[in-house]
Amino acid sequence: MNIAKPNSYRSGPDDRGHFGNFGGRFVAETLMPLILDLEKAYTAAKADPAFQAEMNGYLKNYVGRPSPLYFAERLTEHLGGAKIYLKREELNHTGSHKVNNVLGQIMLARRMGKKRIIAETGAGQHGVATATLCARFGLECVVYMGAVDVERQQPNVIRMEMLGAKVMPVQSGTRTLKDAMNEALRDWVTNVHNTFYCIGTVAGPHPYPTLVRDFQSIIGNETKTQMQEIEGRLPDSLVACIGGGSNAMGLFHPFLDDPSVEIFGVEAAGHGLTQLHAASIAGGRPGVLHGNRTYLLMDADGQIQDAHSISAGLDYPGIGPEHSWLHEVGRVNYLSATDDEALAAFQLLSRLEGIIPALEPAHAIAKVMELAPKRAKDHLMVVNLSGRGDKDVPQVGDILRGKSK
Amino acid sequence: MTTRIDIRFAELAKQGRSAFVTYVMAGDPDLTTSLDIVKALPKAGADVIELGIPFTDPMADGPSIQAAGLRALKAGMTLKKTLELVRDFRKDDNVTPLVLMGYYNPIYIYGVDKFLTDAKTAGVDGLIIVDLPPEEDDELCIPALKAGLNFIRLATPTTDDKRLPAVLANTSGFVYYVSIAGITGAAAADANVVGEAVARIKRHTRLPICVGFGIRTPEAARAIAEKADGSVVGTALVDALKNSLDAEGRATAKTVNAVAELTAALAQGVKGAQQAAE
Ligand SMILES: Cc1ncc(COP(=O)(O)O)c(C=O)c1O
């Protein structure tokens, strides 16, 4: 493929929401006026210093930012190569990076006068973050979650209910994240007059991929400053896991125009790329779903295929459109990690650093285990620790006990 | 360009009658039965046929049509076979307008140019693609118009007067007014409210306006027929089909008749309507 290199990797999307050939607004007419309103509201909010100031207040005192950039000394020693830093998004209130985006969207919803919030969730982290901010601001909250995920992420279901949200188990299709998103879109079409759809990743119709990216970019911006303070320079590489790609985009975006920084996104390879998996770039091709054109897992007829990952948050047959573009222009390298590799990384980080990661970023750690030993000792590698593993403890416990039997 | 849709609406206008538009899913519950159903529709009184293209992730459809699509896919339906079904239907019916309705991805993957050529050759007259708003007209709408197919747009209660011209700009054949903000199979809209909406759209276009979503009974179809140029029934027909299946979801001897009988009853309702004075 012959794709011209852009002058900047950070100027997208165009005014119709396209990143190269990806993105766009593929939605039902019922939603279109609202999506245009949202774009207007977001543009106005971005230009309003009061909006940013209010956000910054909550980010500091409610979310607990900045999150630390922590030198993982024992992991570094163990792998014997690059110097590994963890961006500690798991220390945020609610336990993952998802809250950065939810805060921004809830503040937008308030500006737009919407009193009812809906969300889709896979691992439940986005659902918990949404339920949390709805509790904080007194908004009605409905969270759609695939019935399979309701089973495997029980702790988060209980949390959402305690926070006053209504969790709707989705029985259609594969009963995972993709179906939760379908059901949320159906709710939105039905209740468009009073409802704000708080999307949990850099996907959906324009302007969602952009606004979610912007709200998550605090991860990369902080990393840049912190690394400058600690090491006096830029990092040499970045690694993050990818479900829809929001934690990855948040870390990557501020560095896209720093050519010395190598960037790695890690998709979920499930049982392996020749079997059931959730790696849309490695195993998919461009198609149109959930409001945008992007890489998708599908069959020859354009029917969407079942994804599989041990991690509910990565179990999605697509990826955000900006990632598809960054893949095609070659700025980001997309790798993948299997269920077993993620499980091994989950245990390694727990034992060496005393940090139990969520299964999602365990995929990123799994690739760090491959990449770091091949890098020099002065190579600075940052991995986004997007969430903590509390929600996964019952599931991983069962798997490990089952295995050791 | 004049399609079978244009001709049919011109005839109906002359007769002073509102159109009855039926929706069924291609390949539900299997290809052969589905072809028999489609063939039976005009005889039972359908003026226009909408044929659903099955898709795994129909985000604007309720449970009935979602299930219909999955039944069709499970029985091996594809877009290619949907076009074959149309071609077979056209062997004995060259007048009833046929519109394909669905989502963009299967068409995008089939290849837009090849799809338009094959659809036109098979005897398709128009397209309704739910997830292609005017903002994405370059994708399929403009090429479809060039290929001689109607591109029928959905207008909804959220499409205000400011936006209507953009929605209507490249629309042809007819306008499909979605009577409620919602998904297929949801509750019905009040016929008077619908009447006001139709009148509002009429101020912007001379195209016929058909109304769908939530119409299930002959009485409801009749009430809508008095306010609009056509009424569309989908979920009720899909439900009648489903109720005729055996425990494994396979067609029975009753299946084709179940759909045809309800079609006839609904068509009767529409024909009893007093057309609103133009
Ligand atoms: C901790 C954590 N990391 C990553 C993800 C994947 O989402 P994204 O790729 O948008 O960051 C999730 C999703 O649920 C998550 O909970």
What digits encode the pLDDT tens for the residues A334-345? 999 999 999 999
Alpha carbon distances (Å) from A117 to A101, A137, A166, A181, B157: 14, 11, 11, 14, 21
Alpha carbon distances (Å) from A228 to A127, A220, A221, B175: 34, 12, 11, 59
Which B positions 61-120 lie with beta carbon below 8 A of chain A? 61-63, 66, 73, 78-80, 103-110
Q: Rounded to 10 degrees, what is the CA torsion of B13, B17, B18, B21?
A: -100
A122 lines ligand 1 (CB under 6 A): yes
CA–CA separation, B224 and B270 (whole Å)? 8
Helices B218-225, B191-202: axis angle to 10 degrees equals 30
Assess whether pLDDT exceeds 50 at residue A223: yes
Count of positions (residues) in chain A: 405
Interchain CB contact of B158 with A (< 8 Å):
yes
pLDDT band at A205 (very low <50, low <70, confident <90, very high): very high
Interchain CB contact of A194 with B (< 8 Å):
no
A313 lines ligand 1 (CB under 6 A): yes
pLDDT of residue A2: 54
Whole-number percent of chain A with pLDDT over 90: 96
pLDDT of residue B80: 98
Distance from the CA of B140 to the center of ligand 1, in angstroms?
34
Give residues with Cβ within 8 angstroms of A70, minimum separation 6.
A85, A86, A88
Per-residue pLDDT of chain B (278 residues; tens, 9 = 90+): 789 999 999 999 999 999 999 999 999 999 999 999 999 999 999 999 999 999 999 999 999 999 999 999 999 999 999 999 999 999 999 999 999 999 999 999 999 999 999 999 999 999 999 999 999 999 999 999 999 999 999 999 999 999 999 999 999 999 999 999 999 998 888 899 999 999 999 999 999 999 999 999 999 999 999 999 999 999 999 999 999 999 999 999 999 999 999 999 999 999 988 655 34
Does residue B261 have an active-site annotation?
no
Closest CA–CA distance from residue B155 to any residue of chain A (Å): 7
Look at A172 and B109 and tell me if their CB atoms are within 8 Å. no
A209 lines ligand 1 (CB under 6 A): no
The residue among A288, A292, A293, A305 with the most chain B CBs within 10 A of its CB, best to mutate, is: A288
Interchain CB contact of B57 with A (< 8 Å):
yes
Nearest to A192 among B62, B110, B158 (CB): B158
DSSP annotation of A388 reads B
Count CB-CB contacts under 10 A for residue B264: 18
DSSP annotation of A61 reads I
Nearest to A189 among B106, B167, B182 (CB): B182
Given CATH 3.20.20.70, say whether it is the number of domain B4-272: yes
Average pLDDT on A15-35 reads 96
Average pLDDT, chain A: 96
pLDDT digits (tens, 9 = 90+) for B31-72: 999 999 999 999 999 999 999 999 999 999 999 999 999 999
Assess whether pLDDT exceeds 80 at residue A3: no
Are the C-beta atoms of A366 and A266 separated by less than 8 Å? yes
Interchain CB contact of B161 with A (< 8 Å):
no
Alpha-helical runs (H) found in chain B: 4-15, 31-44, 63-74, 79-90, 104-110, 112-122, 141-146, 164-169, 191-202, 218-225, 235-243, 255-271
Which of A89, A100, A105, A125, when mutated, tests ligand 1's pocket best, judged by the most ligand atoms within 8 Å of its CB?
Answer: A125
In a 13 Å sphere around the CA of A218, the CA atoms on its Cβ side amount to: 26
Interchain CB contact of A118 with B (< 8 Å):
no
A358 lines ligand 1 (CB under 6 A): yes
pLDDT band at A405 (very low <50, low <70, confident <90, very high): very low
pLDDT of residue A151: 92
A153 lines ligand 1 (CB under 6 A): no
pTM above 0.90, yes or no: yes
Q: Looking at the CA of residue A90, tell me the nearest atom of ligand 1.
A: 1
Does residue B61 have an active-site annotation?
yes
Distance from the CA of A242 to the center of ligand 1, in angstroms?
7
Three-state secondary-structure class, residue B173: coil
pLDDT of residue A404: 54
CA–CA separation, A383 and A401 (whole Å)? 29
CA–CA separation, A253 and A245 (whole Å)? 11
pLDDT digits (tens, 9 = 90+) for A278-324: 999 999 999 999 999 999 999 999 999 999 999 999 999 999 999 99
